[in-house]
Structures are given as structure tokens and as C-alpha cells.
């Protein structure tokens, strides 16, 4: 996460506790002077002291290899922690070959973020919890199982360590509450129970003898994140992964038709002429929806939700930090405005979450819904004015310029998009390489190329990480009559 070093800089005044996961001390002075595995600043202090850390979650393992604190790791950075990943895996993890790196970097953009890294660790059954508790705190169930992250510890669920009853064999209390909090002579946990005293069990210590902070949610795979309540699975988390494309409820059809109407424009561009195959600049008078389907893909949704939570946490924590770069929130995106006016699913506007169109073919749309966007293919169909990313549009007319005619119908994807920190560009001749680097290596998450301001056409939304996009709906439609609008070269006629 960008800004991680700034957020944890206060930890430099501390020292790494030499007992690590085996430390039992709760003395406030000790806690103030030393850091332990599970603390937010633990990795930063380990780096400053040159100490090899103990990893208690997959997220901490990834943060250790993310040496630039950008939320992205190169192959060389991942290679440095590969042996540590192998140690924690149930299945044998092979060497990091070209083929395995391509599998890890499945969108082909040359680096991996936490979502991609977590998918690989799930595949090889790495014996560490994901460590997403702080990202999805609002979704936590009080009765949720918390798995111990200490290597070789078999604990799969946190249980408060009972204290020894100070009355020992002379205790006469048999109340359920007392017996749940205190161990007595003859109980199986008498020898391992905490010291006598206090009013109840040691809530910060598990019966496995590891602190609560070393435990994290045992959720993994399809159950790692909640799903939209309007999906066929509801908010419940299925046991296995799933991917299916379903027709939307009939009541949604008028809303999608209204979305096409609300985002319509009669402005035409050179891209329409180039992609029409015959140089035709004419624009449809309207668009008529034919069908709408929803993509329910547990893996892609999980990657998107993790990225969303990371962006939200970064902004929430960062806004209170000196030197944090506040970013603009774009609440004027036409697709999102229209979507919310239809009383549809709300978006997280604080981190620039939008709905945007992506014109394509029917087969490509289904492939994207199944396997995600592939950044290695970016630009092969749309050009690279603002860099090699996935291009999105807030107007159905702009997206239609890239839609493929199949019979008498066309296809667009309606995607959830995380804009995050936007690099806004209103330059007539942008530097595509620099813009790309600002997102793949810098502080930005996406590009908004304002061709509407520059040439009176449309804004372009360019995404460089597939985790920032979730292809949720496939819309098929027919074009209305083509005509020469006022934007036609040479004027209408």
C-alpha cells in the first residue's frame, strides 16, 4: 500500500522483540518499547534493524517483498521471498520459472499486487491466513474463526486462554460463566492456563499460547469476501469457487435501457470511422437494449474487493498523515450518475468507484468475464494514446465505437471500476509512456484523458491493473438509424 512507510515511521523508535511470536509479555512498557509480529510497524522496524521477520499472514509476506511500498512487486522482489513462501506451503511450490511467473502475473502487466499474490498462495495451500481483517473489519462476524498465523501451530480457531482459579481445589463455584473463564485442578488445561487473577480469561491469549494479534480470519478462497446481496448466492460465501453468467431480473431491463439513454451523445470521433471498417463517421440516433446478463465470478470479485478495501484504508489512514497526497474525487462521471439516479447499487465515490462501459465483441466479453482483462493485450484494439491499459467510457456512444457487430447486435461490458488516485490529463499530445509509468510505478491508479475538454469529444478512462476492474454486466443492443451529426467532419448533411 502506498504510504505504508509514512504510516509506520513512528515505529522506528521501537526495537524488535527478540522473542517474536513466543513473547507473552503484556507489560505496557514492553509493548511501548518493542514491536512484535502482527504489529502494523513490525516489518518497517525489522527492515531498519536488518532483522529477519516472522510472518503471520500472507499479506505481511507480500508487504515484505514490496520493497518500494507501491503495492506492486516485480519478479525480482517476489523471487527474494520465494523460499519463505515454499516453507509455509502444504503443497510443494516449484521454482519461480517463466511459466509460473506468467501464471502469477495473470494480467501480464509486469508486476503483481496483493490480490494476484494471494491467488497463488491459495493455489499452493500456504499455511498462513490471508490477513485481511483490517480491510474487511465491518464484515466480520463476532463468531468468526480466527486462525493462528504462527508456523506449525495447528490452531484453527482462537479460544480465550482460561486463568487458573485462585481458589484451586477449594473453589465451590459451579456457575457456567465462572467455569468458562477459570481452569481448576483436574481440568485438561490446568497446566497450560494463565496465571491466577483477574475477573476472567486472558482475552488476549489463545489456548494455543499465541497472542490474539497473531490470529486472523480463516476465510479463504470463495469465502474470503462478501458478495453483493443481489447475486444468486446472496451475501453468503459458498465453499467453492464459481463463475456463471446469468440473465438479470426482468425489472432491471428498463434501468439498463435508461442507462443507455442517459449516457447517449451524438458526438462522433475518428475512432468510429477507424473501427467501422469503411471509414463511416455517422453516429446512431439511439441504442435499443436487447439483453443484459450479470457475471458472477468469485475469483475476480475477490481480487476487486481486496483492491477496493486497500484503497479505502490507504485514503482513510493517509488523510491524517503529514505529506499525504489528497486526490480529487470525480463525482461527475455520467455512467455513475445515471446508475445511482436509477436507485441501483451504490458505489464508493470517496475512492472514485464508477460504472463504465467497455466496447468489445460477444466472445471477448465472455472471455473477460471468465478470465479478466489481459494487460499484455492492451492497445491491440483501441490504440494507446494514454498508454497500454484498458480503455473505458462513460458514454455508450463512445463505447459503441469499439463494439463489434455480430448479426444486427452489438456488445458492451458494464464494469465496476476503481479509479482511486487519478492522473488527470488535458494535454492535446500526451506522453503515453510517462502516463503509464505514473500508474504502474508511481502513485496513481488510473488516467482520465479529457478529450472532451481538448477537442469536444469524450473523456477516456484508462486502467492498468485488472484488480481495479470488475466486468459485471454484458449488455447487448441494436443501433438506431445512423446519421451525420453536427460533429461529422465538414458538418451534417
H helix runs in 66-195, sequence order: 75-80, 82-87, 98-104, 114-123, 176-181
Average pLDDT, the chain: 83
Q: Which residue in the block uniquely carries the three cell numbers 488445561? A: 189
Distances from the Cα of 58 to the Cα of 41, 65, 70, 116, 235, angstroms: 16, 11, 17, 12, 25
| pLDDT at residue 219, as a whole number | 57
| Structural element, H or E, at residue 247 | strand 243-247
pLDDT digits (tens, 9 = 90+) for 103-139: 888 767 788 888 788 878 877 878 777 777 666 654 4
pLDDT digits (tens, 9 = 90+) for 312-325: 888 887 776 766 77
Per-residue b or e along 228-263, where b marks 16 or more CB atoms closer than 10 Å to that residue's CB: eeebebeeeeeeeebeeeeebeeebeebbbebbebb
| More confident of the two residues 32 and 221 | 32
Confidence of residue 203 (pLDDT cuts 50, 70, 90): low
Give the chain's domains with CATH numbers.
Answer: 4-123 (1.10.238.10), 243-483 (3.90.228.10)
Confidence of residue 6 (pLDDT cuts 50, 70, 90): very low
Q: What angle do CA 95, 243, 396 make, to 5 degrees?
A: 110
Residues 266 and 250: their CA atoms lie apart, in Å, by 29
Confidence of residue 145 (pLDDT cuts 50, 70, 90): low
Local structure of 114: helix, strand or coil: helix
What is the percent of the chain where pLDDT is above 70?
A: 82
Local structure of 472: helix, strand or coil: strand
The arrangement of strands across the sheet holding 243-247 comes to 243-247, 287-297, 469-479, 410-418, 353-360
In this structure, of 18-32, 66-80, 259-273, 301-315, the range with the lowest mean pLDDT score is: 18-32
Res 37 pLDDT > 70: yes
Res 481 pLDDT > 60: yes
Res 215 pLDDT > 70: no
| pLDDT at residue 9, as a whole number | 40
| More confident of the two residues 220 and 178 | 178
Q: Compute the average pLDDT of residues 153-164.
A: 75
C-alpha cell of residue 25: 509479555
Non-local (6+) Cβ contacts of 247 within 8 A are 291, 292, 293, 294
Residues 15 and 9: their CA atoms lie apart, in Å, by 13
| More confident of the two residues 197 and 382 | 197
Res 211 pLDDT > 90: no
Predicted structure pTM score? 0.77
| pLDDT at residue 216, as a whole number | 58
The span from the first CA to the last CA of the chain, in angstroms, equals: 54
| pLDDT at residue 140, as a whole number | 46
| pLDDT at residue 151, as a whole number | 60
Residues 142 and 159: their CA atoms lie apart, in Å, by 13
C-alpha cell of residue 454: 481538448
Amino acid at each position: 500500500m502506498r504510504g505504508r512507510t509514512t504510516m509506520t515511521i513512528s515505529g522506528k523508535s521501537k526495537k524488535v522483540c527478540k522473542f517474536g511470536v513466543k513473547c507473552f509479555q503484556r507489560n505496557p512498557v514492553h509493548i511501548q518499547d518493542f514491536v512484535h509480529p502482527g504489529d502494523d510497524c513490525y516489518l518497517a522496524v525489522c527492515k531498519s534493524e536488518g532483522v529477519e521477520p516472522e510472518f503471520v499472514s500472507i499479506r505481511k509476506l507480500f508487504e515484505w517483498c514490496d520493497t518500494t511500498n507501491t503495492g506492486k512487486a516485480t519478479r525480482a522482489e517476489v523471487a527474494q521471498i520465494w523460499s519463505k513462501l515454499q516453507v509455509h506451503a502444504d503443497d510443494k511450490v516449484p521454482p519461480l520459472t517463466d511459466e509460473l511467473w506468467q501464471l502469477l502475473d495473470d494480467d501480464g502487466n509486469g508486476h503483481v499486487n496483493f490480490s494476484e499474490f494471494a491467488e497463488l498462495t491459495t493455489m499452493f495451500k500456504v499455511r498462513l491466513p490471508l490477513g485481511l481483517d483490517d480491510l474487511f473489519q465491518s464484515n466480520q462476524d463476532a463468531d468468526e474463526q480466527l486462525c493462528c498465523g504462527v508456523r506449525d501451530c495447528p490452531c484453527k480457531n482462537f479460544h480465550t486462554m482460561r486463568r487458573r482459579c485462585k481458589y484451586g481445589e477449594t473453589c465451590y463455584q459451579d456457575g457456567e460463566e465462572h467455569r468458562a473463564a477459570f481452569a481448576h485442578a483436574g481440568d485438561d488445561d490446568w497446566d497450560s492456563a494463565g496465571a491466577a487473577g483477574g475477573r476472567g480469561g486472558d482475552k488476549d491469549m489463545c489456548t494455543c499460547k499465541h497472542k490474539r494479534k497473531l490470529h486472523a480470519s480463516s476465510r479463504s478462497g470463495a469465502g474470503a469476501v462478501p458478495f453483493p446481496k443481489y447475486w444468486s448466492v446472496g451475501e453468503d460465501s459458498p465453499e467453492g469457487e464459481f463463475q456463471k453468467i446469468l440473465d438479470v431480473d426482468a425489472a432491471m431491463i428498463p434501468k439498463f435501457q435508461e442507462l443507455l439513454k442517459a449516457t447517449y451523445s451524438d458526438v462522433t470521433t475518428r475512432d468510429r470511422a477507424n473501427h467501422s471498417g469503411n471509414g463511416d463517421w455517422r453516429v446512431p440516433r439511439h441504442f435499443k437494449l436487447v439483453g443484459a446478463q450479470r457475471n458472477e465470478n468469485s475469483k475476480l470479485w475477490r481480487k476487486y474487493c481486496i483492491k477496493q478495501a486497500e484503497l479505502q484504508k490507504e485514503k482513510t489512514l493517509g488523510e491524517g498523515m503529514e505529506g499525504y497526497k489528497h486526490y480529487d474525487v470525480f463525482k461527475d462521471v455520467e455512467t455513475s450518475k445515471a446508475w445511482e439516479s436509477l436507485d441501483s447499487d451504490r458505489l464508493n465515490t470517496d475512492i472514485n468507484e464508477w460504472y463504465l462501459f467497455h466496447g468489445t465483441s460477444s466472445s471477448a466479453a465472455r472471455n473477460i468475464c471468465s478470465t479478466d482483462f489481459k494487460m499484455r493485450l492492451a492497445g491491440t484494439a483501441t490504440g494507446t494514446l494514454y498508454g497500454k491499459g484498458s480503455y473505458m467510457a462513460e458514454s455508450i456512444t463512445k463505447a459503441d465505437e469499439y463494439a463489434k457487430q455480430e448479426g444486427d447486435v452489438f456488445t458492451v461490458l458494464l464494469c465496476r471500476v476503481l479509479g482511486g488516485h487519478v492522473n488527470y490529463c488535458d494535454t492535446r499530445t500526451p506522453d503515453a509512456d510517462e502516463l503509464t509509468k505514473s500508474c504502474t510505478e508511481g502513485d496513481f491508479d488510473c488516467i482520465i484523458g479529457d478529450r472532451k475538454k481538448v477537442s469536444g469529444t469524450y473523456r477516456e478512462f484508462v486502467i492498468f491493473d485488472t484488480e481495479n476492474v470488475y466486468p459485471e454486466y454484458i449488455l447487448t443492443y441494436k443501433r438506431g438509424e445512423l446519421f451525420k451529426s453536427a460533429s461529422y467532419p465538414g458538418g451534417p448533411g
